[in-house]
Structure 1
Amino acid sequence: MINIRPVSDLRNKFSEIEETVIHSNAPVFLTKNGYGTMVLMSIEQYSELTDNIERKLDESDAAAEQTTVRYSASEVFGRARSRINEHARV
């Protein structure tokens, strides 16, 4: 279940929000004046989202050190768009 709370709860009910984030293993969405402002999540949740990306970036850095070949931004994004479009057709 999505947990949406006013940002004032962060100040007034921090312990309750902390318990929710840690024990439900789900993020808490905070709103201000009825609009979303931020998302709170545990360190474990954040790591699940970012660890693979960090690993892939490290692999890319290592591969870049092995060659002098460089690509322009338009080449990189063009290839990314092509791959996304290929997957969209499947």
Structure 2
Amino acid sequence: MPQIVPIRDLKNTTYISNLCHESREPIFITKNGYGDMVIMSMETFEKSSFLNNLYDKLAIAEADVKAGRVSDVDDAISDIRKKYGL
């Protein structure tokens, strides 16, 4: 369940910090009843960034498969061995 906090609560930095770390998800900050900002712990940010990067790479890989830009693993290993003299 997303946490929604009014902007006036940002004055209590310890409370906000604890909320970010305990919830392990973004905290939505409202101003005059409307969404204004999103804050999160560094751990949550890094996890989110990692997952976004992973999903981007998976989408590229899926596009390569659909376009036929793939090779047999045995051929790829053989090419690597030839290239590096293994």
Instruction: Using structure 1 for the length normalisation, give the TM-score.
Output: 0.53
In structure 1, runs of 5+ residues without a counterpart are 60-79, 84-90
- Counterpart residue identity of residue 6, structure 1: P
Q: Which amino acid aligns with 2:10?
A: L
RMSD: 3.0
Distance 1:20 1:36 in 2: 18
Quote how far apart the aligned CAs of 1:8 are.
1.1
Counterpart residue identity of residue 8, structure 1: R
Cα displacement (A) at 1:55: 7.4
- 2: distance between equivalents of 1:56 and 1:17? 29
Task: Write the mapping of 1:5-84 to structure 2, written as runs, cut at 5 A.
Answer: 5-11=5-11, 13-53=12-52
Quote the offset at 1:14 in angstroms: 1.6
1:26-82 C-alpha deviation (Å, 9 max, x unpaired): 22110001111111101111111213555799x9xxxxxxxxxxxxxxxxxxxx9xx
Q: Which runs of structure 1 show a deviation greater than 6 angstroms over 4 or more consecutive aligned residues?
A: none
Name the amino acid aligned to 2:41.
S
Larger Rg: 2
Query: For residues 2 and 52 of structure 2, what CA distance do their matches in structure 1 show?
Result: 25
Total equivalences in the alignment: 60
TM-score by length of 2: 0.55
Structure 2 residue ranges without an equivalent (≥5): 64-86
